[in-house]
Amino acid sequence: MAGVLASVDQRTQLVGENRLELLLFHLHSRHLFALNVFKVKEVVKLPHLNKMPNAHPKIAGVTTIRGESIPVIDLRQAICMPQCEYDSDSNLVITEYNRTIQAFLVGKVDQIVNTTWSDIMPPPRSVGRNHYLTALTKLKRGDQELLVEIIDVEKVLAEIIAYDVVIPENILDKTIINEFQGRKILHVDDSPTARRQVSDTLAQLGIEVLPATDGHEALKLLQHWADEGIDVNKELMAVITDAEMPVMDGYRLTYEIRNDSRLKDLYIVLNTSLSGSFNKAMVEKVGCDVFLSKFQPDRLVDEMQRRLKDVLNQ
């Protein structure tokens, strides 16, 4: 797998272009699955795994890569597919989500494809609520058109790692806490899990969270308000957006907002599970006001309190 990943500089060239790279793989089945390359640090052949006593049943074990102990999640089990034996085609996809390193146990790795978010589709409503897909796309291979299922990793991780959304009393600024009542933010994220985490956190402050599932939906809503004569800067305290979403990603959404004279002064928080040394470059390139890594309820509350103080001082 040497050389399978692009360099940080090359990857950041996609920022703001509504493009992404997907790592395609199998889960010991004919189906093709995918993860965004931005989240992937490395792909290695399946090494020896040490069992972890009392571990979550979806944790296959732990391995050591270059001196670092990394928990390994059996991705097939994690998305509720029947368990199967590992074989010579098995690989570990080592990823960085929400400031943590974990590996996903997968089958054969297929290839990396460069595509555009406009070609990424949300899952159909017919799949119900209990699926593990954040999006779908199609890939042409010869005369065939293959369906690629993009995993909702945030849901997978949330079922393994308990995320506490209760806000500790000691981080609340009592001098402004009552000022949150009636304030609104627009939260843009394709993951129902991420939307619920943010909503459950900010609801404790009294903030009304307006949801949107992708950048295109959010932009149309903002433009509709502006067309109706609503001052969006007074309507919304902030826009909190994920980076990676079907149809229009958070980078493109930010670009479109900054280039609309009616919307350009909106306060935009890029809230994403992406982490690493390229974050500052991404935020500067697309024009967000601040980067906030998922999922940090304390940091989210701190940022909303800081933003409210700025609004009150205007």
What is the full DSSP assignment across 11-24? Answer: HHTTTTTTEEEEEE
- Residues 142 and 225 occupy one common structural domain: no
First-to-final CA distance of the chain: 53
Q: Tell me 52's DSSP state.
A: -
The pTM assigned to this predicted structure is: 0.76
The residue range of the domain holding 134 is 1-160
Q: What's the pLDDT tens digit per position in 252-307? A: 899 999 999 999 999 999 987 765 555 566 667 778 998 888 888 888 999 999 99
Asked if the structure places residue 165 within a domain, the reply is no
Asked if the structure places residue 301 within a domain, the reply is yes
CATH number (domain holding residue 19):
2.40.50.180
- Residues 191 and 117 occupy one common structural domain: no
Boundary of a domain, candidates 129, 160, 191: 160
Q: Which of 99, 42, 101 is nearest to 68 (CA)?
A: 101
Spatial neighbors of 45 by CB under 8 A, at least 6 apart, are: 1, 90, 91, 92
Asked if the structure places residue 169 within a domain, the reply is no
- Residues 92 and 188 occupy one common structural domain: no
- Residues 20 and 137 occupy one common structural domain: yes
Q: What's the pLDDT tens digit per position in 172-208? A: 888 999 999 999 999 999 888 889 989 999 999 999 9
Cα dihedral sign, 218-223-228-234? positive
- Residues 222 and 126 occupy one common structural domain: no
The total domain count for the chain is 2
- Residues 276 and 223 occupy one common structural domain: yes
- Residues 95 and 189 occupy one common structural domain: no
Q: Which of 6, 160, 186 is nearest to 79 (CA)?
A: 160
Asked if the structure places residue 125 within a domain, the reply is yes
- Residues 305 and 252 occupy one common structural domain: yes
